[in-house]
Amino acid sequence: MTRRGRAASVGGVENRFRVDGDDLGIDLRASSVTLGSDGVVDATVVAERLPADVDWSDAPPRLHFRDVPLKFDGATFGATVDDDLLDEHDIAFWLEGREDVHGVLSLGAGDRLRFVGTTHVTGEPKAWRLDVSIRFGGSGRTPAV
């Protein structure tokens, strides 16, 4: 079974797309998360708006995860990236172009995907701090055949 879902606005779990502490919100219609039964996650999380000081782009930033294997921890009911299986994956920040990210991706109890890290956007003098959290699943879960 594969858990798929659009982002959901659910009490107690905050959806956020923060860049250097500025919460840009999450475009719930454009964002999605898929967690396969093999523990591999594919996700695209799209911000609702641009950072306040960005006047050189028209499209809001997004964080993209493709083929990222997770390792489940029964003690905490969560998961982190399985470095032993990490080979053909892609994790990137997009704003006018692809930028590498460095940080920690985790899956928390209650179907909450969270990334905390940094990215250095081309042309910016310093790295941006990212804190992106999205809830998915719930009633929108559909089994995969």
Q: Check residue 10 and give its pLDDT.
A: 47
Q: Which tokens go with 93?
A: 């920040």
Residues 18-45: tens digit of each pLDDT: 999 999 999 999 999 998 888 889 999 9
Which candidate, 139, 137, 130, 128, places its Cα nearest to that of 107?
137
Give 35's strand partners. 3, 41
Q: Check residue 137 and give its pLDDT.
A: 75
With H, G, I as helix, E, B as strand and everything else as coil, classify residue 85.
coil
Would you write out the chain's pLDDT as a tens digit for each of its 145 residues? 455 555 555 445 589 999 999 999 999 999 999 988 888 899 999 999 999 888 889 999 999 999 988 888 766 667 777 767 666 778 899 998 999 999 888 888 768 999 999 999 988 899 999 999 999 875 444 433 3
